[in-house]
Amino acid sequence: MLNLAVMLETSARAVPDRVAVVLGDQELTYAELDAAARRVAGLLRSRGIEPGDKVAVSCPNLPWFPIVYYGILKAGAVVVPLNVLLKGREIAYHLADSEAKAYFCFEGSAELPLGQEGWSGFGETPGCENFFLMTAAPTEDSPITGAETLTAALAGRSAEFETVTTEADDTAVILYTSGTTGRPKGAELTHSNVTLNVLTCHKLFGEIEHDVHLITLPLFHSFGQIVQMNAGLASRATLVLLPRFDARSALALMQRRAVTFFAGVPTMYWALLEADAPDVDLPQIAKNLRMAGSGGSALPVEIHRRFAERFGVTILEGYGLSETSPVATFSPRGEEVRPGSIGRPVWGVEVDLVAKDWTPVQGADAIGEIVIRGHNVMKGYYRRPEATAEVVRNGWFRTGDLARRDADGWFYIVDRVKDMIIRGGFNVYPREIEEVLLTHPAVSMAAVIGVPHERHGEEIKACVVLAPGAALAEDELIAWCKDEMAGYKYPRLVEFLKTLPTNATGKILKRELRDAGTADAGAIEGAR
Protein backbone atom coordinates (compact mmCIF):
# COMPACT_ATOMS: atom_id res chain seq x y z
CA MET A 1 0.00 0.00 0.00
CA LEU A 2 1.32 3.42 -0.93
CA ASN A 3 -0.08 6.90 -1.57
CA LEU A 4 2.13 9.65 -3.01
CA ALA A 5 0.55 12.08 -0.54
CA VAL A 6 3.00 10.65 2.01
CA MET A 7 5.56 13.07 0.52
CA LEU A 8 3.73 15.95 2.20
CA GLU A 9 2.21 14.18 5.20
CA THR A 10 5.46 12.83 6.67
CA SER A 11 7.12 16.25 6.53
CA ALA A 12 4.03 17.97 8.00
CA ARG A 13 4.26 15.70 11.03
CA ALA A 14 8.01 16.26 11.41
CA VAL A 15 8.25 20.05 10.82
CA PRO A 16 4.69 21.44 11.02
CA ASP A 17 5.78 25.03 11.61
CA ARG A 18 8.44 25.20 8.89
CA VAL A 19 7.56 27.27 5.83
CA ALA A 20 6.72 24.88 3.01
CA VAL A 21 5.66 27.22 0.21
CA VAL A 22 6.44 30.87 -0.56
CA LEU A 23 4.92 33.18 -3.15
CA GLY A 24 6.02 36.80 -2.79
CA ASP A 25 5.19 37.68 0.81
CA GLN A 26 2.69 34.81 1.19
CA GLU A 27 3.91 31.84 3.21
CA LEU A 28 2.31 28.50 4.06
CA THR A 29 3.72 26.21 6.72
CA TYR A 30 3.76 22.45 6.30
CA ALA A 31 0.84 22.14 8.72
CA GLU A 32 -1.17 24.75 6.81
CA LEU A 33 -0.44 23.17 3.44
CA ASP A 34 -1.42 19.70 4.64
CA ALA A 35 -4.63 20.97 6.25
CA ALA A 36 -5.63 22.82 3.07
CA ALA A 37 -5.02 19.66 1.02
CA ARG A 38 -7.21 17.67 3.42
CA ARG A 39 -10.04 20.16 2.91
CA VAL A 40 -9.76 19.70 -0.86
CA ALA A 41 -9.87 15.93 -0.41
CA GLY A 42 -13.03 16.25 1.68
CA LEU A 43 -14.59 18.50 -0.96
CA LEU A 44 -13.91 15.94 -3.68
CA ARG A 45 -15.41 13.15 -1.61
CA SER A 46 -18.53 15.26 -0.97
CA ARG A 47 -18.94 15.83 -4.73
CA GLY A 48 -18.90 12.13 -5.53
CA ILE A 49 -15.26 11.68 -6.56
CA GLU A 50 -14.24 8.07 -5.97
CA PRO A 51 -10.76 6.51 -5.69
CA GLY A 52 -9.32 6.11 -9.17
CA ASP A 53 -11.36 8.96 -10.68
CA LYS A 54 -9.41 11.49 -12.72
CA VAL A 55 -9.24 15.13 -11.60
CA ALA A 56 -7.62 17.78 -13.80
CA VAL A 57 -5.87 20.95 -12.66
CA SER A 58 -4.73 24.04 -14.59
CA CYS A 59 -2.59 26.25 -12.39
CA PRO A 60 0.72 28.16 -12.64
CA ASN A 61 3.34 28.01 -9.89
CA LEU A 62 1.07 29.17 -7.08
CA PRO A 63 0.30 27.71 -3.62
CA TRP A 64 -3.02 26.50 -5.05
CA PHE A 65 -1.13 23.91 -7.10
CA PRO A 66 0.32 21.79 -4.24
CA ILE A 67 -2.88 22.29 -2.21
CA VAL A 68 -5.04 20.82 -4.96
CA TYR A 69 -2.44 18.26 -6.10
CA TYR A 70 -2.12 16.62 -2.69
CA GLY A 71 -5.84 17.00 -2.03
CA ILE A 72 -6.58 14.93 -5.12
CA LEU A 73 -4.07 12.28 -4.03
CA LYS A 74 -5.45 12.17 -0.49
CA ALA A 75 -8.89 11.45 -1.97
CA GLY A 76 -7.40 8.45 -3.78
CA ALA A 77 -8.01 10.11 -7.16
CA VAL A 78 -5.61 10.63 -10.06
CA VAL A 79 -4.03 14.05 -10.76
CA VAL A 80 -4.13 15.26 -14.37
CA PRO A 81 -2.02 18.46 -14.55
CA LEU A 82 -2.64 20.53 -17.69
CA ASN A 83 -0.41 23.00 -19.48
CA VAL A 84 -1.58 26.51 -18.54
CA LEU A 85 -1.18 27.72 -22.14
CA LEU A 86 -3.88 25.42 -23.51
CA LYS A 87 -6.91 26.97 -25.19
CA GLY A 88 -10.52 25.97 -24.54
CA ARG A 89 -10.70 23.42 -27.37
CA GLU A 90 -7.45 21.82 -26.24
CA ILE A 91 -8.60 21.72 -22.61
CA ALA A 92 -11.80 19.98 -23.69
CA TYR A 93 -9.70 17.35 -25.46
CA HIS A 94 -7.60 16.67 -22.35
CA LEU A 95 -10.61 16.52 -20.06
CA ALA A 96 -12.40 14.08 -22.34
CA ASP A 97 -9.33 11.98 -23.11
CA SER A 98 -8.45 11.58 -19.41
CA GLU A 99 -12.13 11.04 -18.47
CA ALA A 100 -11.79 13.73 -15.82
CA LYS A 101 -14.71 13.92 -13.37
CA ALA A 102 -13.63 17.26 -11.86
CA TYR A 103 -11.53 20.22 -12.93
CA PHE A 104 -9.69 22.86 -10.85
CA CYS A 105 -8.73 25.93 -12.88
CA PHE A 106 -6.94 29.16 -11.91
CA GLU A 107 -8.65 32.36 -13.09
CA GLY A 108 -5.55 33.68 -14.85
CA SER A 109 -5.05 37.26 -16.00
CA ALA A 110 -5.88 39.60 -18.86
CA GLU A 111 -2.77 38.35 -20.71
CA LEU A 112 -3.54 34.69 -19.91
CA PRO A 113 -7.32 34.26 -19.41
CA LEU A 114 -6.91 30.73 -18.12
CA GLY A 115 -10.22 30.72 -16.26
CA GLN A 116 -12.23 31.68 -19.32
CA GLU A 117 -10.46 29.09 -21.47
CA GLY A 118 -10.93 26.47 -18.78
CA TRP A 119 -14.63 27.26 -18.34
CA SER A 120 -15.08 27.01 -22.11
CA GLY A 121 -13.32 23.63 -22.26
CA PHE A 122 -15.29 22.37 -19.28
CA GLY A 123 -18.53 23.37 -20.99
CA GLU A 124 -17.61 21.21 -23.97
CA THR A 125 -16.98 18.11 -21.81
CA PRO A 126 -20.25 16.53 -20.57
CA GLY A 127 -18.46 13.83 -18.56
CA CYS A 128 -16.67 16.38 -16.37
CA GLU A 129 -19.22 17.27 -13.70
CA ASN A 130 -17.38 19.63 -11.32
CA PHE A 131 -15.59 22.92 -11.98
CA PHE A 132 -13.75 24.85 -9.26
CA LEU A 133 -12.29 28.27 -10.04
CA MET A 134 -9.16 29.20 -8.09
CA THR A 135 -9.14 32.98 -7.75
CA ALA A 136 -6.09 35.19 -7.36
CA ALA A 137 -7.62 36.79 -4.25
CA PRO A 138 -9.29 34.06 -2.17
CA THR A 139 -12.13 36.31 -1.00
CA GLU A 140 -13.13 37.47 -4.48
CA ASP A 141 -16.45 36.51 -6.03
CA SER A 142 -16.33 34.44 -9.20
CA PRO A 143 -15.44 36.59 -12.23
CA ILE A 144 -17.09 33.95 -14.44
CA THR A 145 -20.86 33.69 -14.34
CA GLY A 146 -21.90 30.22 -13.22
CA ALA A 147 -18.44 29.12 -12.07
CA GLU A 148 -18.05 28.16 -8.42
CA THR A 149 -14.92 29.44 -6.67
CA LEU A 150 -12.80 26.98 -4.78
CA THR A 151 -12.79 29.28 -1.77
CA ALA A 152 -16.59 29.20 -1.63
CA ALA A 153 -16.64 25.43 -2.09
CA LEU A 154 -14.20 24.98 0.80
CA ALA A 155 -15.92 27.45 3.17
CA GLY A 156 -16.62 25.87 6.54
CA ARG A 157 -15.16 22.53 5.49
CA SER A 158 -13.28 20.57 8.15
CA ALA A 159 -9.62 19.68 7.75
CA GLU A 160 -10.34 16.23 9.17
CA PHE A 161 -9.78 13.68 6.42
CA GLU A 162 -8.13 10.28 6.38
CA THR A 163 -6.03 9.71 3.28
CA VAL A 164 -7.41 6.96 1.06
CA THR A 165 -5.30 3.83 0.86
CA THR A 166 -4.00 3.15 -2.64
CA GLU A 167 -1.81 0.40 -4.05
CA ALA A 168 1.73 1.00 -5.26
CA ASP A 169 0.81 0.18 -8.86
CA ASP A 170 -2.32 2.34 -8.89
CA THR A 171 -2.08 5.39 -11.16
CA ALA A 172 -1.22 8.56 -9.23
CA VAL A 173 -0.63 11.09 -12.03
CA ILE A 174 -1.34 11.29 -15.76
CA LEU A 175 1.14 13.57 -17.52
CA TYR A 176 0.31 14.56 -21.07
CA THR A 177 3.09 14.59 -23.63
CA SER A 178 3.67 17.70 -25.70
CA GLY A 179 2.04 16.16 -28.73
CA THR A 180 4.82 16.93 -31.23
CA THR A 181 3.90 13.76 -33.16
CA GLY A 182 0.12 13.68 -33.17
CA ARG A 183 -2.40 14.43 -30.43
CA PRO A 184 -1.11 14.49 -26.83
CA LYS A 185 -1.06 11.19 -24.96
CA GLY A 186 -1.36 10.75 -21.21
CA ALA A 187 1.52 8.87 -19.55
CA GLU A 188 0.23 6.98 -16.50
CA LEU A 189 2.65 7.19 -13.58
CA THR A 190 1.98 5.04 -10.55
CA HIS A 191 2.42 5.90 -6.88
CA SER A 192 5.46 3.61 -6.97
CA ASN A 193 6.92 5.25 -10.11
CA VAL A 194 6.91 8.72 -8.57
CA THR A 195 7.82 7.72 -5.02
CA LEU A 196 10.87 5.74 -6.12
CA ASN A 197 11.95 8.57 -8.41
CA VAL A 198 11.65 11.02 -5.49
CA LEU A 199 13.77 8.76 -3.27
CA THR A 200 16.28 8.44 -6.10
CA CYS A 201 16.47 12.26 -6.31
CA HIS A 202 17.36 12.35 -2.63
CA LYS A 203 20.27 9.98 -3.29
CA LEU A 204 21.39 12.05 -6.26
CA PHE A 205 21.17 15.53 -4.75
CA GLY A 206 22.17 14.83 -1.17
CA GLU A 207 20.29 16.37 1.73
CA ILE A 208 20.94 19.17 4.18
CA GLU A 209 18.91 20.22 7.20
CA HIS A 210 16.96 22.87 5.29
CA ASP A 211 17.12 23.32 1.53
CA VAL A 212 15.46 26.27 -0.20
CA HIS A 213 14.32 25.49 -3.76
CA LEU A 214 13.56 28.16 -6.31
CA ILE A 215 10.91 26.64 -8.58
CA THR A 216 10.74 28.33 -11.95
CA LEU A 217 9.92 25.25 -14.00
CA PRO A 218 6.15 24.84 -14.34
CA LEU A 219 4.63 22.51 -11.78
CA PHE A 220 2.38 20.93 -14.39
CA HIS A 221 5.54 19.51 -15.99
CA SER A 222 7.29 16.37 -14.71
CA PHE A 223 10.59 18.11 -13.86
CA GLY A 224 9.20 20.86 -11.62
CA GLN A 225 6.44 18.69 -10.22
CA ILE A 226 8.39 15.56 -9.27
CA VAL A 227 12.06 16.55 -9.06
CA GLN A 228 11.39 19.77 -7.14
CA MET A 229 7.90 19.86 -5.62
CA ASN A 230 7.53 16.22 -4.55
CA ALA A 231 11.21 15.68 -3.79
CA GLY A 232 11.51 19.08 -2.10
CA LEU A 233 8.52 18.64 0.19
CA ALA A 234 9.59 15.08 1.02
CA SER A 235 12.97 16.45 2.17
CA ARG A 236 11.27 19.21 4.26
CA ALA A 237 12.56 21.99 2.02
CA THR A 238 11.04 25.43 1.50
CA LEU A 239 9.70 25.93 -2.02
CA VAL A 240 9.96 29.47 -3.40
CA LEU A 241 7.54 29.75 -6.33
CA LEU A 242 8.01 31.94 -9.38
CA PRO A 243 4.89 31.75 -11.61
CA ARG A 244 6.63 33.00 -14.73
CA PHE A 245 10.38 32.77 -15.28
CA ASP A 246 12.21 36.03 -15.58
CA ALA A 247 15.96 36.04 -15.03
CA ARG A 248 16.11 39.27 -13.02
CA SER A 249 13.23 38.19 -10.78
CA ALA A 250 14.83 34.78 -10.33
CA LEU A 251 18.16 36.29 -9.29
CA ALA A 252 16.44 38.67 -6.87
CA LEU A 253 14.59 35.76 -5.24
CA MET A 254 17.76 33.70 -5.04
CA GLN A 255 19.35 36.50 -3.04
CA ARG A 256 16.32 37.43 -0.91
CA ARG A 257 15.37 33.87 0.03
CA ALA A 258 18.92 32.45 0.29
CA VAL A 259 18.16 29.79 -2.31
CA THR A 260 20.30 26.66 -2.04
CA PHE A 261 18.85 24.60 -4.91
CA PHE A 262 18.08 25.66 -8.48
CA ALA A 263 16.98 23.47 -11.34
CA GLY A 264 16.25 24.64 -14.84
CA VAL A 265 16.50 24.02 -18.55
CA PRO A 266 19.37 25.38 -20.68
CA THR A 267 17.49 28.49 -21.82
CA MET A 268 17.00 29.48 -18.18
CA TYR A 269 20.70 29.17 -17.41
CA TRP A 270 21.47 31.20 -20.52
CA ALA A 271 19.03 33.90 -19.36
CA LEU A 272 20.59 34.02 -15.87
CA LEU A 273 24.00 34.54 -17.44
CA GLU A 274 22.75 37.26 -19.80
CA ALA A 275 20.57 39.11 -17.26
CA ASP A 276 21.27 42.78 -16.56
CA ALA A 277 20.81 42.82 -12.77
CA PRO A 278 23.15 45.41 -11.23
CA ASP A 279 21.35 45.38 -7.86
CA VAL A 280 21.89 41.66 -7.33
CA ASP A 281 24.73 40.42 -5.14
CA LEU A 282 26.07 37.54 -7.25
CA PRO A 283 28.77 36.53 -4.73
CA GLN A 284 26.08 36.17 -2.04
CA ILE A 285 23.91 34.06 -4.35
CA ALA A 286 26.91 31.89 -5.17
CA LYS A 287 27.69 31.48 -1.48
CA ASN A 288 24.20 30.13 -0.73
CA LEU A 289 23.76 27.99 -3.83
CA ARG A 290 24.84 24.40 -3.24
CA MET A 291 23.14 22.59 -6.10
CA ALA A 292 22.25 23.38 -9.73
CA GLY A 293 20.65 20.80 -11.97
CA SER A 294 19.69 20.83 -15.62
CA GLY A 295 17.40 18.71 -17.75
CA GLY A 296 14.84 18.97 -20.50
CA SER A 297 17.41 19.24 -23.29
CA ALA A 298 21.17 19.07 -23.69
CA LEU A 299 23.07 21.85 -21.93
CA PRO A 300 25.67 23.55 -24.16
CA VAL A 301 29.20 23.14 -22.82
CA GLU A 302 29.82 26.89 -23.09
CA ILE A 303 26.91 27.65 -20.75
CA HIS A 304 28.21 24.95 -18.39
CA ARG A 305 31.59 26.69 -18.22
CA ARG A 306 30.26 30.23 -17.84
CA PHE A 307 27.83 29.32 -15.04
CA ALA A 308 30.53 27.56 -13.03
CA GLU A 309 32.77 30.63 -13.36
CA ARG A 310 30.10 33.09 -12.26
CA PHE A 311 28.17 31.16 -9.61
CA GLY A 312 30.82 28.79 -8.31
CA VAL A 313 28.60 25.74 -8.82
CA THR A 314 28.97 23.05 -11.45
CA ILE A 315 25.65 22.25 -13.09
CA LEU A 316 24.82 18.56 -12.80
CA GLU A 317 23.01 17.35 -15.89
CA GLY A 318 20.37 14.68 -15.96
CA TYR A 319 17.99 13.17 -18.44
CA GLY A 320 14.47 11.88 -18.39
CA LEU A 321 10.98 12.18 -19.80
CA SER A 322 7.42 12.34 -18.53
CA GLU A 323 7.21 8.63 -19.35
CA THR A 324 10.12 7.90 -16.98
CA SER A 325 8.82 9.73 -13.90
CA PRO A 326 11.11 11.61 -15.02
CA VAL A 327 14.78 11.00 -14.03
CA ALA A 328 16.65 8.21 -15.84
CA THR A 329 20.29 9.37 -15.81
CA PHE A 330 22.21 11.92 -13.77
CA SER A 331 25.74 13.18 -13.27
CA PRO A 332 26.93 11.69 -9.94
CA ARG A 333 27.88 14.07 -7.15
CA GLY A 334 31.42 13.70 -5.92
CA GLU A 335 32.79 12.66 -9.30
CA GLU A 336 34.43 14.88 -11.86
CA VAL A 337 31.67 16.25 -14.09
CA ARG A 338 31.97 15.62 -17.80
CA PRO A 339 30.44 18.69 -19.48
CA GLY A 340 28.03 17.70 -22.20
CA SER A 341 27.20 14.39 -20.53
CA ILE A 342 23.82 13.51 -19.00
CA GLY A 343 25.61 11.17 -16.60
CA ARG A 344 25.00 7.52 -15.90
CA PRO A 345 21.80 5.54 -15.16
CA VAL A 346 20.29 6.30 -11.75
CA TRP A 347 19.71 3.68 -9.07
CA GLY A 348 17.45 0.83 -10.19
CA VAL A 349 17.36 1.93 -13.84
CA GLU A 350 18.94 0.41 -16.95
CA VAL A 351 19.79 2.48 -20.02
CA ASP A 352 20.94 1.16 -23.39
CA LEU A 353 21.25 2.25 -27.03
CA VAL A 354 19.44 0.51 -29.87
CA ALA A 355 19.07 0.71 -33.63
CA LYS A 356 15.76 1.28 -35.40
CA ASP A 357 14.97 -2.46 -35.24
CA TRP A 358 15.63 -2.59 -31.44
CA THR A 359 18.97 -4.40 -31.83
CA PRO A 360 21.60 -3.13 -29.34
CA VAL A 361 24.22 -0.70 -30.60
CA GLN A 362 27.70 -1.92 -29.67
CA GLY A 363 30.96 -0.09 -29.10
CA ALA A 364 32.07 3.04 -27.30
CA ASP A 365 30.80 6.28 -28.86
CA ALA A 366 28.50 4.46 -31.31
CA ILE A 367 25.24 6.37 -31.75
CA GLY A 368 21.88 4.79 -31.02
CA GLU A 369 18.43 5.57 -29.66
CA ILE A 370 18.11 5.64 -25.87
CA VAL A 371 15.96 2.93 -24.29
CA ILE A 372 15.16 2.77 -20.58
CA ARG A 373 13.98 0.03 -18.23
CA GLY A 374 13.33 0.21 -14.48
CA HIS A 375 11.06 1.34 -11.67
CA ASN A 376 10.59 4.72 -13.36
CA VAL A 377 8.97 3.57 -16.62
CA MET A 378 5.30 4.49 -16.94
CA LYS A 379 2.42 2.07 -16.70
CA GLY A 380 1.52 3.04 -20.27
CA TYR A 381 -0.34 5.67 -22.27
CA TYR A 382 -3.85 6.03 -20.88
CA ARG A 383 -6.36 4.16 -23.06
CA ARG A 384 -3.78 3.77 -25.84
CA PRO A 385 -2.46 0.19 -25.84
CA GLU A 386 -1.27 0.44 -29.46
CA ALA A 387 0.74 3.60 -28.80
CA THR A 388 2.20 1.97 -25.68
CA ALA A 389 3.20 -1.15 -27.64
CA GLU A 390 5.04 1.02 -30.18
CA VAL A 391 7.44 2.40 -27.56
CA VAL A 392 7.60 -0.32 -24.88
CA ARG A 393 9.04 -3.80 -25.46
CA ASN A 394 9.95 -6.24 -22.69
CA GLY A 395 9.87 -3.36 -20.22
CA TRP A 396 12.18 -1.18 -22.31
CA PHE A 397 10.88 2.28 -23.20
CA ARG A 398 12.00 3.80 -26.48
CA THR A 399 12.67 7.53 -26.04
CA GLY A 400 13.21 8.98 -29.52
CA ASP A 401 16.52 10.53 -28.39
CA LEU A 402 19.88 9.72 -29.95
CA ALA A 403 22.96 9.38 -27.77
CA ARG A 404 26.40 7.88 -27.50
CA ARG A 405 28.03 6.15 -24.52
CA ASP A 406 31.69 6.46 -23.67
CA ALA A 407 33.92 3.67 -22.43
CA ASP A 408 33.10 4.54 -18.77
CA GLY A 409 29.34 4.30 -19.25
CA TRP A 410 28.57 8.04 -19.36
CA PHE A 411 25.90 9.02 -21.87
CA TYR A 412 25.91 12.04 -24.19
CA ILE A 413 22.80 13.26 -25.97
CA VAL A 414 23.40 13.69 -29.69
CA ASP A 415 19.93 14.84 -30.75
CA ARG A 416 16.29 13.99 -31.11
CA VAL A 417 15.68 11.40 -33.81
CA LYS A 418 13.26 13.79 -35.49
CA ASP A 419 15.74 16.72 -35.32
CA MET A 420 18.58 14.91 -37.11
CA ILE A 421 19.34 16.48 -40.50
CA ILE A 422 20.20 14.32 -43.52
CA ARG A 423 22.10 16.52 -45.96
CA GLY A 424 23.21 14.89 -49.18
CA GLY A 425 23.16 11.46 -47.53
CA PHE A 426 25.21 12.58 -44.49
CA ASN A 427 23.73 12.52 -40.98
CA VAL A 428 24.15 15.92 -39.31
CA TYR A 429 23.37 16.39 -35.62
CA PRO A 430 22.20 19.95 -34.85
CA ARG A 431 23.46 19.91 -31.28
CA GLU A 432 27.06 19.42 -32.45
CA ILE A 433 26.81 22.51 -34.66
CA GLU A 434 25.11 24.52 -31.88
CA GLU A 435 27.98 23.71 -29.51
CA VAL A 436 30.47 25.15 -32.02
CA LEU A 437 28.35 28.25 -32.73
CA LEU A 438 28.23 29.10 -29.04
CA THR A 439 32.02 29.41 -28.95
CA HIS A 440 31.83 32.41 -31.32
CA PRO A 441 32.20 35.56 -29.17
CA ALA A 442 29.28 37.31 -30.92
CA VAL A 443 26.82 34.42 -30.52
CA SER A 444 24.68 34.29 -27.38
CA MET A 445 22.31 31.43 -28.29
CA ALA A 446 21.70 29.29 -31.35
CA ALA A 447 19.36 26.63 -32.69
CA VAL A 448 20.11 24.62 -35.82
CA ILE A 449 17.42 23.14 -38.05
CA GLY A 450 17.08 21.40 -41.39
CA VAL A 451 15.06 23.04 -44.18
CA PRO A 452 14.03 21.48 -47.52
CA HIS A 453 16.53 21.62 -50.38
CA GLU A 454 15.99 20.37 -53.96
CA ARG A 455 19.46 18.90 -54.43
CA HIS A 456 20.56 17.88 -50.94
CA GLY A 457 17.24 16.89 -49.46
CA GLU A 458 17.85 19.17 -46.48
CA GLU A 459 19.99 22.22 -45.93
CA ILE A 460 21.42 23.36 -42.61
CA LYS A 461 20.16 26.60 -41.13
CA ALA A 462 21.37 28.38 -37.99
CA CYS A 463 18.95 30.60 -36.07
CA VAL A 464 21.13 32.87 -33.95
CA VAL A 465 20.66 35.35 -31.10
CA LEU A 466 23.60 37.75 -30.94
CA ALA A 467 25.30 38.75 -27.70
CA PRO A 468 24.36 42.24 -26.41
CA GLY A 469 26.14 44.91 -28.43
CA ALA A 470 27.58 42.42 -30.94
CA ALA A 471 27.50 43.00 -34.69
CA LEU A 472 27.89 40.16 -37.18
CA ALA A 473 26.84 39.63 -40.80
CA GLU A 474 25.39 36.39 -42.11
CA ASP A 475 28.21 35.76 -44.58
CA GLU A 476 30.79 36.41 -41.84
CA LEU A 477 29.28 33.76 -39.60
CA ILE A 478 28.92 31.28 -42.46
CA ALA A 479 32.59 31.78 -43.38
CA TRP A 480 33.61 31.26 -39.76
CA CYS A 481 31.56 28.07 -39.57
CA LYS A 482 33.15 26.82 -42.79
CA ASP A 483 36.56 27.12 -41.15
CA GLU A 484 35.42 25.38 -37.96
CA MET A 485 33.37 22.47 -39.33
CA ALA A 486 33.46 19.74 -41.95
CA GLY A 487 32.14 20.71 -45.37
CA TYR A 488 28.87 18.79 -45.06
CA LYS A 489 28.11 20.19 -41.59
CA TYR A 490 28.42 23.95 -41.63
CA PRO A 491 25.26 26.08 -42.05
CA ARG A 492 24.67 27.68 -45.42
CA LEU A 493 21.75 29.66 -44.04
CA VAL A 494 21.82 32.03 -41.07
CA GLU A 495 18.96 34.02 -39.59
CA PHE A 496 19.47 36.48 -36.74
CA LEU A 497 16.60 36.64 -34.25
CA LYS A 498 15.98 38.70 -31.13
CA THR A 499 14.90 35.58 -29.27
CA LEU A 500 14.20 31.90 -29.91
CA PRO A 501 10.68 30.51 -29.46
CA THR A 502 10.28 28.33 -26.39
CA ASN A 503 7.45 26.36 -24.80
CA ALA A 504 6.19 26.72 -21.24
CA THR A 505 9.08 24.65 -19.89
CA GLY A 506 11.75 26.66 -21.70
CA LYS A 507 12.55 24.16 -24.45
CA ILE A 508 13.41 25.71 -27.81
CA LEU A 509 10.59 25.04 -30.30
CA LYS A 510 12.50 23.92 -33.38
CA ARG A 511 9.25 22.96 -35.05
CA GLU A 512 8.24 26.65 -35.11
CA LEU A 513 11.63 27.60 -36.51
CA ARG A 514 11.29 24.95 -39.22
CA ASP A 515 7.76 26.07 -40.10
CA ALA A 516 8.97 29.66 -40.49
CA GLY A 517 12.17 28.87 -42.36
CA THR A 518 11.36 26.59 -45.30
CA ALA A 519 10.74 29.27 -47.95
CA ASP A 520 13.80 29.74 -50.15
CA ALA A 521 16.19 27.03 -48.99
CA GLY A 522 16.01 25.25 -52.34
CA ALA A 523 17.42 28.30 -54.10
CA ILE A 524 20.62 28.39 -52.06
CA GLU A 525 23.66 27.62 -54.19
CA GLY A 526 27.24 26.94 -53.29
CA ALA A 527 26.16 24.14 -50.94
CA ARG A 528 28.85 21.60 -51.60
Residue 261: pLDDT band by 50, 70, 90 thresholds? Answer: very high
77 backbone dihedrals φ, ψ, rounded to 5°: -90, 180
Query: Would the pLDDT of 289 be above 90?
Result: yes
CA atoms within 13 A on the CB side of 197: 34
Query: What Å distances lie between residue 385 and 186, 320, 388, 398, 498, CA to CA?
Result: 12, 22, 5, 15, 43
Residue 182: pLDDT band by 50, 70, 90 thresholds? Answer: low
> What's the CATH code, domain 420-523?
3.30.300.30
> What's the CATH code, domain 30-166?
3.40.50.980
Mean pLDDT computed over every residue of the chain: 92
Residue 311: pLDDT band by 50, 70, 90 thresholds? Answer: very high
Tell me how far apart the alpha carbons of residues 191 and 159 are, in angstroms, rounded to a whole number.
23
Query: Would the pLDDT of 518 be above 50?
Result: no
pLDDT (0 to 100) of residue 138: 84
Query: Would the pLDDT of 427 be above 90?
Result: no
As a whole number, mean pLDDT of residues 59-67 equals 98
As a whole number, mean pLDDT of residues 455-472 equals 91
Degrees to nearest 5, angle at CA 146 with 141 and 150: 50
Query: What Å distances lie between residue 122 and 17, 96, 105, 174, 403, CA to CA?
Result: 37, 9, 10, 18, 41
Query: Would the pLDDT of 181 be above 70?
Result: no
| Candidate from 59-73, 185-199, 261-275 with smallest mean pLDDT | 261-275
pLDDT (0 to 100) of residue 371: 98
Tell me how far apart the alpha carbons of residues 373 and 395 are, in angstroms, rounded to a whole number.
6
Residue type, 315: I
pLDDT (0 to 100) of residue 488: 81
pLDDT (0 to 100) of residue 515: 83
Closest CA to 405 of 373, 362, 434: 362
> Identical fold at 30-166 and 420-523?
no
* Sheet bearing 238-241, strands edge to edge: 26-29, 19-23, 238-241, 212-215, 261-264, 291-294, 316-320, 327-330, 344-345
Domain 191-416, CATH class in plain words:
alpha beta
In this structure, the chain runs to a length of 528
CB count in 10 Å sphere of residue 304? 20
Residue 214: pLDDT band by 50, 70, 90 thresholds? Answer: very high
As a whole number, mean pLDDT of residues 160-164 equals 97
Query: Would the pLDDT of 354 be above 70?
Result: yes
Going from N- to C-terminal start, the domains of the chain cover: 30-166, 191-416, 420-523
Residue type, 259: V
pLDDT (0 to 100) of residue 527: 36
pLDDT (0 to 100) of residue 340: 85
Closest CA to 233 of 465, 420, 67, 53: 67
Burial of 525 per CB tally in 10 Å (0-12, 13-18, 19+) = exposed
| Candidate from 121-125, 316-320, 333-337, 351-355 with smallest mean pLDDT | 333-337
Q: pLDDT exceeding 70 applies to what percent of the chain?
A: 97
- Contacts of residue 263, Cβ cutoff 8 Å, sequence gap at least 6: 213, 217, 223, 224, 227, 228, 292, 293, 294, 295
3-state secondary structure 134-190: ECCCCCCCCCCCCCEEHHHHHCCCCCCCCCCCCCCCCEEEEEECCCCCCCCCEEEEE
Comparison of pLDDT for 519 and 507, the residue scoring more: 507
> For 218-256, how does the pLDDT look when each residue is reduced to its tens digit (9 = 90+)?
999 999 999 999 999 999 999 999 999 999 999 999 999
Residue 178: pLDDT band by 50, 70, 90 thresholds? Answer: low
pLDDT (0 to 100) of residue 180: 43
Closest CA to 527 of 485, 472, 490: 490
As a whole number, mean pLDDT of residues 261-278 equals 92
Helix 30-46 vs helix 6-14: crossing angle, to nearest 10: 140
Residue 74 and residue 164 in contact, taking contact as beta carbons nearer than 8 Å: yes
> For 384-426, how does the pLDDT look when each residue is reduced to its tens digit (9 = 90+)?
999 999 999 999 999 988 999 999 999 998 877 778 787 877 7
> For 126-156, how does the pLDDT look when each residue is reduced to its tens digit (9 = 90+)?
999 999 999 998 888 999 999 999 999 999 9
